Every structure is written in C-alpha cells, then in structure tokens.
Chain A
Amino acid sequence: EAQVTQNPRYLITVTGKKLTVTCSQNMNHEYMSWYRQDPGLGLRQIYYSMNVEVTDKGDVPEGYKVSRKEKRNFPLILESPSPNQTSLYFCASTEGGGNFAEAFFGQGTRLTVV
C-alpha cells in the first residue's frame, strides 16, 4: 500500500531536549516536505526537499533542521525545542510534476513542548 509513515504520532517533550520526527514514503517520490498546522493558521511549510541531498527552507524554517540522505526518508529535527513549536506536524510526499502534482500526507505527529 502506498503510504507516508510518520513516527511518533504523539510526543510530549521538555524545552531544549533534542528530538527527531521520522518520515518515510514507499512511493519513490522525489519531492518531500514538512508542514506544521496550527489553529487558524492552516498548513505552513517548514522545509522541503526536491531530491536526495537537496533541501530548502519553506515559510517557517526557524528552529528546525532536515536531512535527505536517501529518497524514502526525510526526518525533521528539532535541536532545541521550545513551547512555540507545539503543533501538529505533517510530512508529505509529492507525486508527479507539472500540472498534476498531488501531495500525499502522513498521519501527523502531535508535538507538545513543555
């Protein structure tokens, strides 16, 4: 089954403790991205990757890092989490290009930083 898998689904952590949210896709997509979703703000892109070893900032990259060492995996790293990074996070993998790109989203990771 074609899917995007995120782990963990839920995470509570303390300020300053480094964490990683993993994302894996089995569709051989080149393009992957991370979003955060906050009430009233919708989905905002954090980082994206157009291919292995190619990453770039989205709209809200501050406080986040990513890596793309292999096509299927795109982990999101919070080196020193702060309470304002409490949010619902989604990883997405994009099929196709040109006029028909469709984003497939993971199940989401609900992060709470206390």
Chain B
Amino acid sequence: KNQVEQSPQSLIILEGKNCTLQCNYTVSPFSNLRWYKQDTGRGPVSLTIMTFSENTKSNGRYTATLDADTKQSSLHITASQLSDSASYICVVSVNYGGSQGNLIFGKGTKLSVKP
C-alpha cells in the first residue's frame, strides 16, 4: 500500500534555531516528492520538488534531501523565523504513465517557532 509517514508529528523550537523534518515513503512507482508548507487555515504551498535523480535541493533557508534507495526525505530549516510556524506536508507523486495528480499525502509535521 502506498504510504507516506512523517516525523515528528509536532515540533517546538526557538527562533534562530535549525530543525529537520523527516519523511519516509513506500510509494511505487515513484515520480517525485514535494514538500508543502501550510499556514494555519490556508491551503498548502509547494516549497520544493525532488525527482528520483536529485539528492539535495535548496530554497532559501529550506533544504530538502532525498535518498531514493532508503525512500527517505528530509526538510532542513536553517535559522528559523517566527513565520516558519506552519505544518509541513510531504507529498509523493505516483507515476502511472503520465497520469496527473496521483498524490500520496503525509499527515504533516506541525512546527512552532517561539521567540
């Protein structure tokens, strides 16, 4: 069964600190993996996409990694800011021969950044 597991469920850190969120998946056939940021009460917004051949990708203070062999991804946030407080959702896309949108969602990690 295609699944995406995220850890931790929630995390509280102090402003300025770094943190790493984890995503493990059992999805086949794998197409790509995206990390989304969801502010409270709003729709998720894509932060980064990882394809099978990519190991690391950065978007400002966000760095995503992908290990396709172990089927693990991480999202590292550097020098956290109060505005980073949100849920971060790992989403894996299944490749059914070009079919769009077969997305498997993780349940998200809720990050709280405190001053």
Are both chains from one complex?
A: yes
Say whether B43 contacts A90, CB under 8 Å. Answer: yes
In this complex, how many residues of chain B approach chain A with their Cβ under 8 Å: the count is: 25
Binds A, one of B16-24, B57-65, B73-81, B91-99: B91-99
Return the CB mask of A90-102 against B: 1 if under 8 Å, else 0: 1010101111111
- CB of A76 within 8 Å of the partner chain: no
A75 interface residue (CB < 8 Å to B): no
Q: Which of B42, B45, B91, B105 contacts A108 (CB 8 A)?
A: B42
- From A14-22, A38-46, A63-71, A79-87, the one touching the partner chain is A38-46
B43/A98 in contact, CB under 8 A:
no
Q: List the B residue with the shortest CB-CB distance to A29.
A: B100
Indicate whether A48 reaches chain B with its CB closer than 8 angstroms: yes
Count how many pairs of residues, one from A and one from B, have CB atoms less than 8 Å apart in the complex. 68
User: Of B43, B101, B107, which is within 8 A of A101 by CB?
Assistant: B101
Which residues from 1 to 47 on chain B have a C-beta closer than 8 Å to any C-beta of chain A?
Answer: 31-32, 34, 41-46
**Complex contacts, A111 vs chain B, CB 8 Å:** none
Closest beta carbon of chain A to B28's beta carbon, Å: 15
A110 & B100 in contact (Cβ 8 Å cutoff)? no
Instruction: Judge whether A94 and B43 touch: CB under 8 Å.
Output: no
Contact between B41 and A98 (Cβ–Cβ < 8 Å)? Answer: no
Q: A24 at interface (Cβ–Cβ under 8 A)?
A: no
Residues on B close to A: CB < 8 A? 31-32, 34, 41-46, 49, 51-52, 89, 91, 93, 95, 98-101, 103, 105-108
The 10 A-B pairs at the shortest CB distance, nearest first, are namely A105-B43, A42-B107, A31-B100, A94-B101, A43-B105, A31-B101, A97-B100, A101-B100, A94-B100, A42-B105
Known A-B contacts: A30-B100, A99-B52, A100-B49. Give 5 more (CB < 8 A). A42-B108, A44-B105, A94-B100, A98-B31, A103-B103
